[in-house]
Structure 1
Amino acid sequence: MNTSNASPSPARWFRVFKRTMSGDSHTRKSSSSSLGEDVLRKSREAFSSGKTRPYAFRVSQLEAIFQMLEEHEMEFVEALEKDMHRPKFETVLSDITTVKNEALYAIRNLEKWMQPKYVQKSMTSFLDDCFVQREPVGVVLIVGGWSFPIQLSLIPLVGAVAAGNCVVLKPSEVSAHAADLLHRLLPTYLDNSCYHLISGGHNELMEVLDHKFDHVYYTGDSTTGRQVTQAATKHLTPVSLVLGGKNPCYVDKSCDLPVAARRIAWARFVNAGQNSLAPEYILCQADVQDALVHELCSCVREFYGSNPHESPHYGRMASAEQYKRVKDLLTCGQVAFGGQTDDGDRYIAPTVLIDVQESDPIMQQEILGPVLPILPVDTLDEAIHFINRKDRPLAVYVYSDNPQVTSEIMCKTSSGSFCSNDSMTQSLCTSLPCGGVGNSGVGIYGGKHSFAAFSHRRACLLRNSAVECVTYLRYPPYTEKQLRLMLWASSLSRRSSWCQIL
């Protein structure tokens, strides 16, 4: 994910939309610094007023997000068709339905999530109420990604709204039509004093990070992610990062190869490969490689016809810069099938590469395009060693009908998520967390995990003033008897019962 192709002009980067009495929105522009301060001031005033804290308010805003997607589904479909030739099926499934599911899941569970969580007590607190209360952190900055621009902006927004925060949202400028649609629609559905949108590229993002937020959530490339973290560190602001990485996919000789090929081909080539959760490379034994290439080629013909360039079901690169970067990677190894490009249309055919070396550029960076390298390994242990030599990825995939093989890879590797005999479908389960580990990201989100990510866990103890018969033991002057009694009262027993002999 790259934002360096954005316009560098910071003078007119910021747009804030406000709902008028008639329901129409308008744009106000000024210098980035003054408007940044103005939006933050308004957001902090709204948060300080307590407006976002009540359960009823949070639910009303979540319902508004759902309603917006319901009422304007075709506009989002058309925007993403213009941005990357995205088929309606892919937009509705990945960008619309996933966000609607997140909003519904939050609405149905929010009351339970907001309840205090009572904790285990010792003798010193057995008459008290001890619990953890989830509180909103304050004003949150969300920086959305470009590959799935609606999902990557609105899923974290759902979590931040559910947690009771004010939000400043920056959709990716790379998917320009989708970003413009969010700028136009969101202010007509959400409370304008609590939720604001900004626009701009990399330079403008770094400028707005000069201001202090209470949490920053960023989806994008690792280089910008490091810069975001460094900028936030100046204010001691916690950061959540979704960065992607090189997701390995091991194909075992015991698997159902036609089924594996169909699932891998769908995951790698959906949205023209622009997905951080897609398999980045395949590891398999040499005697599996030829059959797998044949099956993958058959799947591409089945999915997109003999000429995917003419298929209405196949997308395009989101930007000229992204197109050029992925096209340059086609020089690695040897093209087994595919490899066709069209500069004017930002088209890259579904491509499989063989004879790729570990040192090749395609193995050193996230692809984010419809290109799939295959590397042979001799043994399962060699595959595991290969995976562990690299940074921990966003996902690890294994296709095998042997439970021992699946268990070996799951237990001996580390990644943000793990999936066997399929790819990317773990992200469709709202009760599972999404997120990376190490260089693939920091923090988790999705469902309850999004609510937790944007909440502060406040330790609360409500003490009764009528227990001085116990607490007096802590006061000076001290005696050995007091110490023994206090140790008995405050120490956790190895047994579940408090019955101990003095």
Structure 2
Amino acid sequence: MGEMGNIALRALLENQQEDIRQNSVPSVGERKKTLLRLKQMLIDHEAALIEALVSDMRRPAFEAFSFEIALLLNEIDYVCRFLKKWTRPERSSHIKFGYIESIRKKRNPYGSVLIISPWNYPLQLALMPAISAIATGNRCVIKPSEYAPATSELLKKVISQMFSPEVLTVVTGDMQTSKLLTALPFDLIFFTGSQETGKAVAQQAANQLTPVVLELGGKNACILDETGFSSEAIREIVWGKFLNAGQTCIAPDTLFVHESIFEKTLSEISAALLAFYGDHSIESKDYGRICHLGHFQKLLQFITQGKIRVGGAYEAEDLFIAPTVLTDIQPGSSILQDEIFGPILPVISYTNLESLLHQQVIQRDALVAYMFSKNKQHIQLVQKYMRSTTISINQVIHYGANPRVAFGGVGRSGQGSYHGKAGFQTFGYDKTDYKVYRYLQVPGKFPPYSDRNLHLVKKFRKWFL
């Protein structure tokens, strides 16, 4: 299908914004109806969507359903359950000297929202923010990644069959299409992707004074102290790291292991990988592939920056990189600075947790920090040190599937959050009705002012103002 040009894209936005001006904010019932239609779309096209996800990423069908479709279905169920409660106006009244004030606040949608989604979870990360946007009453334009063409084209097709473009539509295209879209005066832009591209989106949006939500990922440290070791813990870490061939923004990026358990941790990692994917992971139906050649080549550079303890094999034609474990990382290596986003796990030994944190080798504002420990003092040290919006203890990945937990970054990992009520808040702003009922004229309020009245204001400011 052909890409849309600037005139067509501008017309699409103008039609949405005109529809917003002509019609009132959708009622709770109308929003639920739209969300349930989206849910039915996922159910009706489940097989085709899984087939597209497998085609784009060679992802196991189990992962495609669990971490794309099931998460979306759960989110819709949760939002529909609580939406009426979230939309209730907040009311308060206060007695002041001379008047009574009445305040009524209600969450109002921004209007027309642009969602730019990445390739690693091309269905979930396109529709999850759309669920939040619809729940708040917005219209949406989704720009999915060109690196997941099968999923993007199918999503465009099925959404066009079930929704009016004034409500929800998908625009496919390359990076140039994204640039054209971000130059338009959308009411909010929601971007998920790399830090570099996120900066460009934010700069472009600044020209229009368009608010931006950025979900950028980062180097998520996973710390395993001497009290946290177990076979079960290692299996959790290995599963979370190599899920979707490591191409998960909340995957453990680097594993820091206390020196007393370093070698047995490496042994357990090797055993877990063997149990998960067998001797020849390239033949495993449960192990995915790298999405595109550019990212594949970047990952190959990382493999050379340490000692290979497990894996290291790759096949360019198949975009396959075996689950790989590195130790003895070369100082100053890019793998210690850049988000890996692939099936390569650096394992680094440490002697003392306080010293490790003091060295500042761990990104404090990563999207999430993981720790496996039974030591309360160690856990508190990490909680105090990290700026991440989430600290996950003795578990990886699962927090990101919980609609009760706000999902988002801070600093280099992004700004803004979504999922559940957090998404409802993010895609709207407080609209306030402020009313005053006068019952007594306040002397000295108007010029000319006097020293006496200034004294009274200072003394009774809580009642005057």
The normalised TM-score by structure 2 is 0.95
Residue 149 of structure 2 corresponds to residue 159 of structure 1:
no
Rounded to whole Å, the distance in 2 between the matches of 1:110 and 1:358 is: 51
Match of 1:67 among 9, 27, 40: 40
* CA shift digits 1:317-368 (9 cap, x unpaired): 1112222221221111011011111111111111110101341121121111
Letter in 2 for 1:212: P
Contact 1:256 1:401 in 2 (8 A): no
SS of equivalent residue, structure 1 residue 392 = coil
Q: Pick from 252, 265, 283 the counterpart of residue 238 of structure 2.
A: 265
Q: Does 1:193 align with 2:166?
A: yes
* Greater CA drift, 192-201 or 95-104: 192-201
Instruction: Determine the C-alpha separation between the residues in 1 that align with 2:362 and 2:240.
Output: 24
Structure 2 counterpart SS, 1:383: helix
Decide which of 392, 408, 415 is 1:435's aligned counterpart: 408
Determine the C-alpha separation between the residues in 2 that align with 1:125 and 1:208: 51
What residue number does 1:22 align with? Answer: none
Q: Which of 405, 418, 425 is matched with 2:391 structurally?
A: 418
CA deviation map 1:27-49 (0-9, x unaligned): xxxxx111111101101111112
Partner of residue 13, structure 1? 3
The answer to whether structure 1 residue 340 and structure 2 residue 333 are counterparts is no
Alpha carbons of structure 1 residues 353 and 389: separation in structure 2 relative to 1, 3 Å? closer
Unaligned stretches of 5+ in structure 2? none
* Amino acid in the other structure paired with 2:11: D
- The residue type equivalent to 1:406 in the other structure is I
1:149-228 paired onto structure 2 within 5 Å? 149-228=122-201
The TM-score, its normalising length taken from structure 1, stands at: 0.88
Q: Deviations over 1:247-275 (max 9, x none)?
A: 11111011132121100000000111100
Residue number among 130, 144, 166 corresponding to 2:117 in the alignment: 144
State whether residues 474 and 486 of structure 1, in contact with CA within 8 Å, keep that contact through their aligned partners in structure 2. no
Summarize the Cα distance change of 1:120–1:432 in structure 2 as closer, same or farther, 3 Å threshold. Answer: farther
Cα pair distance change 1:388/1:435, threshold 3 Å: farther
Equivalent position of 1:299 in the other structure: 272
8 Å Cα contact 1:329-1:361 kept in structure 2: yes
1:89 deviation in Å? Answer: 1.1
Aligned to 2:369: 396
1:115-134 pair list within 5 angstroms:
115-119=88-92, 121=94, 123-124=96-97, 127-134=100-107
- Give the deviation of 1:458 after TM superposition: 1.9
CA distance in 2, matches of 1:373, 1:483: 66
- In 1, the alpha carbon distance for the partners of 2:184 and 2:425 equals 24
2:335 counterpart residue number: 362
Cα RMSD for the two superposed structures: 2.1
- 1:486 CA drift (Å): 5.3
Residue 66 (structure 2) aligns with = 93
**Code of the aligned partner of 1:142:** I
Q: Is 2:116–2:142's contact at 8 Å kept on the other side of the alignment?
A: yes
Change (3 A) 1:116 1:280: same
> Would you say the 8 A contact 1:276–1:368 is kept in 2?
yes
Q: Does 1:237 align with 2:210?
A: yes
Are 1:447 and 2:420 counterparts?
A: yes
CA distance in 2, matches of 1:236, 1:93: 38
Residues 99, 439 of structure 2: 8 Å contact kept? no
1:384/1:413 contact within 8 Å kept: no
Pairing 1:469–2:440 present? yes
Query: Which blocks of at least 5 consecutive residues in structure 1 are unaligned?
Result: 1-10, 15-31, 494-502
The amino acid of 1:403's aligned partner reads K
Residue aligned with 1:128, SS: strand
> What is the CA–CA distance in structure 1 between the aligned matches of 2:98 and 2:433, rounded to whole Å?
12
Distance 1:429 1:361, change over 3 A: same
Alpha-carbon distance in structure 1 between the residues aligned to 2:98 and 2:81? 34
SS in 2 for 1:469: coil
Determine if the alignment matches structure 1 residue 373 to structure 2 residue 346. Answer: yes
Partner of 1:325: 298
Contact 1:79 1:181 in 2 (8 A): yes
Looking at structure 2, the residues matched to 248 and 403 of structure 1 have their Cα atoms a distance apart, in angstroms, of: 18
| Stretch moving more, 187-196 or 393-402 | 187-196
Q: Which moved more, 1:286-295 or 1:473-482?
A: 473-482
> For the residues of structure 1 that align with 2:98 and 2:223, how far apart are their CA atoms?
52
